[in-house]
Amino acid sequence: MGVVVAKTRAFFALTGRAINEVLSFFVFSILDVLDFVLCYAYRVADFLIEAEWKPCYCSPAKEAMTGGGKILVSERGESKVVRLTSPSKLQLEEISDTLYARPSCVAEVSKCTERKRGRGRSVFAVNAAIVEMLQGKIGGQKFCPIPRWSDCDCEICNSWASSCKETLFVHADGPKDNVQEDVLFIHGFISSSAFWTETLFPNFSKSAKSTYRFFAIDLLGFGRSPKPADSLYTLREHLDMIERSVLEPRKVKSFHIVAHSLGCILALALAVKHPGSVKSLTLLAPPYFPIPKGEQGTQYLMRKLAPRRVWPLIAFGASLACWYEHVSRTICLLICKNHRVWNFITKLITRNRIKTFLIEGFCCHTHNAAWHTLHNIMCGTAGKIDSYLDTVRNRLKCSVTIYHGRNDELIPVECSYNVQSRIPRARVKVVEKKDHITIVVGRQQAFARELEEIWKSSKGN
């Protein structure tokens, strides 16, 4: 009887996978074409509304190095010369190729056309959008804080622009005087500081609140933090803003880090940059996929994070966000520009404060911020994570604790064990019946106690 049940389950599982494969092929083929159509629709809309053609990542430009540190850029018969300084060269290296190299039916047709047209000349691809964004920085131009027509311009999203504020939004809690220790909380992708402040902060003990100073930040481009339209949201920019907003003004010399999902990458990079300052490292669902030999790291990671499948739904959402520049911009136009409406509906239906703030954090960003952060941080750092983990293992003495929800369908549990294989002293705790969000939400009291124990045991570090 048991054998029959096992075979039946295996049959249905195989059938389900086959249906998912076929359905995904048709759905994503349609999305490939839709994104191509939306590309031209947004070009026209941008021109009509903003009186300017806006570059995107669909059509690659061609570049060739010339003397004097210049790059000759030509696209569709037009040539431009852009002078690159050292900082911009470094920034080019931090830009993920997944921004402009995402295989699709339309992309493959375009490649074949390009091969037939261009022969003989040795060039390599770079994207016009990148060049256009770098031009303003190279020329020393200041970003004009006027939101794009498709972005929200409410006080929450754009209040920083009136003063050209160049620091992140920081929610600080704890003692103002006689601070013993500091804790930095870094949220994940399309989230905000509310992920921590509405869950953990109210549940820390009186003793912890009198001992530790808590800093929960909204990352660059998210929540109440600045959302500059000219930023490429590279790892360097995110780290610089964290240092400028928390570590330097608050005179933070040593600190604990608690990070979730994408925030784990920033936490590791920050720990590597300040190896003598980190007292403990707590990572929740770290997205670490070891790159097999012979694979291109950025492209491999994009396929792992966004597998172009319609099921599970969270994988479908990740695929929309990662593969389709203009489809994801449309989603942001519908959700982020109208986030106050969605917040009101959430309040009305759920009457749950935590869920309301989670929705607010999910909706308060721009497409430019989400698109670049996803590619430049998640995908673009694929080749760096190994060295970060090795540095934490060899140079840092702090404790490393990893939490993962057993039912996490976005970042598999194996990712946490992959981290442990690189840092043997790391402790992995898999929480049963919890997923990517409920690893914190719903168990905030228990998790607050666990964090306090980690910080207490790390006092000697």
| Distance in angstroms (rounded) separating the CA atoms of residues 435 and 315 | 13
Say which of 96, 435, 436, 458 is annotated catalytic: 436
Cα–Cα nearest to 330, from 188, 151, 147: 151
For residue 461, give Cα distances in angstroms to 91, 142, 180, 456: 34, 43, 14, 10
Say which of 408, 416, 435, 458 is annotated catalytic: 408
Active site residue 408: yes
- Sign of the dihedral through C-alpha 433, 282, 305, 373: positive
Say which of 192, 193, 245, 261 is annotated catalytic: 261
Strand partners, 215: 172, 184
Active site residue 187: yes
Q: Which two tokens stand for residue 156?
A: 């929450």
Strand partners, 284: 260, 403
| Distance in angstroms (rounded) separating the CA atoms of residues 461 and 458 | 5
Active site residue 372: no
Distance of CA 157 to the CA centre of its chain: 18
Determine phi and psi for 27, rounding to 5 degrees: -65, -45
Q: Are 5 and 295 in contact (CB under 8 A)?
A: no
DSSP secondary structure letter of residue 255: E
For residue 230, give Cα distances in angstroms to 134, 157, 247, 325: 8, 16, 25, 16
Q: Which two tokens stand for residue 344?
A: 């009101």
Using the structure block, give the residue that is written with the tokens 């074409």.
Answer: 33
Cα–Cα nearest to 441, from 250, 273, 198, 265: 198
Q: Which two tokens stand for residue 275?
A: 């190896």
Cα–Cα nearest to 369, from 268, 221, 248: 221
Residues 6 or more apart in contact with residue 27 via CB below 8 angstroms? 310
Tell whether omega for the bond before 412 is within 30 degrees of 0, i.e. cis.
Answer: no
Using the structure block, give the residue that is written with the tokens 């060295």.
Answer: 387
β-bridge pairing 427-431 and 399-405: parallel
CB count in 10 Å sphere of residue 147: 16
Active site residue 256: no
Say which of 187, 260, 326, 375 is annotated catalytic: 187
Residues known to be catalytic: 187, 261, 408, 436
